């Protein structure tokens, strides 16, 4: 059962959707992810795509991001996300979007283009492992990512992540058991896409 590791809701056990349709990120992988992201979390806008139980977005909220948008298409999972938000008392800075990642990105990109919302500082993308690279390729051009923002793709460790996807460049990959976290930045001709901790 997933749990919140640190922050305001530390130790809270989260519910997860039943069955095999969702695959919660392991605690070890989640701890490593948030250790890397720690310097970026304060006041960040965080986007959790293919959220499952919502545990990554909830962990980000617990650790102090300004806002987390949590996107999940599966109806039962959305109900569980809403329940987990209530259980952790993290609803105030959360927005749940019950729709596909592509539909959510279309709406979120429009909000950024209209100037009603800022781009996201951190985007976490955790599609089904079998579709991880295809999902990244399909969605990359739609991502409302800040110029100095970071995208993290969780995928199977035996499937290396593509080095370049549209304007994104791979800057780091970390393996945790069967999972791999691959970090992408928007490529800048002058400064490259280096990831600074």
| d(C-alpha 36, C-alpha 196), whole Å | 10
Under the banding of pLDDT at 50, 70 and 90, the label for residue 191 is very low
- Residue 195 pLDDT: 55
- Residue 140 pLDDT: 86
| d(C-alpha 67, C-alpha 77), whole Å | 20
The CATH number of the structural domain formed by 27-186 is: 3.40.50.150
Q: What's the predicted TM-score (pTM) here?
A: 0.92
Percentage of the residues of the chain whose pLDDT score is greater than 90: 71
- Residue 21 pLDDT: 57
Tell me the per-residue pLDDT of 84-101, one tens digit each, with 9 for 90 and over.
999 999 999 999 999 999
Least confident among 16-25, 27-36, 85-94, 123-132: 16-25
Q: What is the mean pLDDT of residues 141-148?
A: 92
| d(C-alpha 42, C-alpha 45), whole Å | 9
Residue 175 DSSP SS3: strand
- Residue 194 pLDDT: 55
């Amino acid at each position: 059962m997933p749990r919140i590791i640190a922050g305001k809701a530390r130790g809270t056990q989260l519910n997860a959707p039943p069955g095999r349709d969702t695959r919660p990120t392991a605690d070890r992988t989640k701890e490593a992810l948030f250790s890397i992201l720690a310097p970026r979390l304060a006041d960040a806008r965080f986007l959790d795509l293919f959220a499952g139980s919502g545990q990554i977005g909830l962990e980000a909220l617990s650790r102090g991001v300004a806002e987390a948008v949590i996107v999940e298409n599966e109806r039962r999972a959305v109900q569980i996300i809403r329940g987990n938000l209530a259980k952790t008392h993290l609803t105030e800075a959360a927005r749940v979007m019950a729709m596909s990642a592509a539909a959510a990105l279309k709406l979120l990109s429009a909000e950024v283009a209209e100037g009603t919302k800022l781009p996201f500082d951190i985007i976490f993308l955790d599609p089904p492992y079998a579709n991880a690279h295809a999902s990244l390729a399909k969605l990359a051009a739609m991502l409302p990512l800040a110029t100095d923002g970071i995208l993290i793709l969780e995928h199977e460790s035996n499937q290396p992540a593509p080095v370049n996807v549209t304007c994104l460049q791979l800057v780091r990959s970390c393996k945790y058991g069967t999972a791999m976290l691959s970090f992408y930045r928007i490529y800048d001709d002058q400064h490259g896409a280096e990831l600074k901790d």
